[in-house]
Structure 1
Amino acid sequence: TSNSTSDYLNFPSDVAVDSNGSVYVTDTFNYRVSLWTSGSSSGVIIAGTGISGSTNNTLDIVYGVARDPNSGTLYLSDTG
């Protein structure tokens, strides 16, 4: 089942790390992406609602994440 707390991950399938050491985690079956800043002990949900979907602001099965080091743009792979 999905969980609303950002520290609970349900099938984390990919990560991206930026130059500051922050980690972006695809939380596949919680239908979201979390950001863990360098040195933090908990994450912040930055994409997705925790509910599967294919409308604005929702993610279906997010399984990939990449961050462009030049622009800072975050790219997600999602089946929805």
Structure 2
Amino acid sequence: INGIYWNTTGTLRAGTGSSGTALNKLSSPTGIFLDSSDYLYVADSGSYRVLKYAPSVTTGTLIAGLTSVSGTTLDLFSTGIRYIFVDSSQNLYVADTYNNRVVLWPNGASTATIAAGNGTFGTSFNQIYSPYGIWVDSSSNVYVAEYQNQRVTKWAPGATTGILLAGVTGSAGKQNSEKYMYDIIEIVVFNQSRREKSEK
């Protein structure tokens, strides 16, 4: 029989199965990223932080946010961080959903900069509204799936405005519509013969 097979018994990489704020526990994780060196990154939304796990280690290291503290300053997250992305230099991008921004935490930094949006929700192209899925290409362009705006925008490094790639701002579509979109939560980027997809 041809096909792909996997181990039917899972291996624990993070968390204990019970909620908590200790570094070996998670609280409502909403996003993960696995890099090429098998380091696991977890958006621990209920504790307002991102943890990093070395291979075969089940206790995480806090790399972004402050445990159990939410806020709008650039060292904190809102109550609903979503998806995360880590580039080849181990810089961390986080969809800070309810703060309506995507933030960039350079590797080893104690605070972030804004990579997309301005921290307020709206339909203008200097704003984003409920970012969910994100993707970052090799040129550090940030692609954002805006759940409430029903659109995908692209933000160049250092840009204060994004450009529309897909959807019609604020207009949900039907299943047979190519122009309008509804409840977008992930992004797929096609690059010649290679398909790159944001994590769910």
TM-score (norm 1): 0.86
CA distance in 2, matches of 1:61, 1:74: 15
- Note the aligned Cα RMSD (angstroms): 1.6
Calculate percent identity across the aligned residue pairs: 35
Number of aligned residue pairs: 78
Deviation of residue 16 (structure 1)?
0.5
Q: Which has the higher contact order (CA 8 A, sep 6+)?
A: 1
Gaps of 5+ in 2: 1-70, 150-200
CA distance in 2, matches of 1:65, 1:33: 8
Q: Which has the higher strand share?
A: 1
CA distance in 2, matches of 1:21, 1:9: 19
| 1:29-68 → structure 2 map (5 Å cutoff) | 29-68=98-137
Equivalent position to 2:143, from 60, 70, 75: 75
Q: 1:24 corresponds to which residue?
A: 93
**Corresponding residue SS for 1:66:** strand
**Corresponding residue SS for 1:75:** strand
Structure 1 stretches (4+) deviating beyond 3 angstroms? Answer: none
CA distance in 2, matches of 1:49, 1:58: 6
The structure having more radius of gyration, on CA atoms, is 2
TM-score (norm 2): 0.37
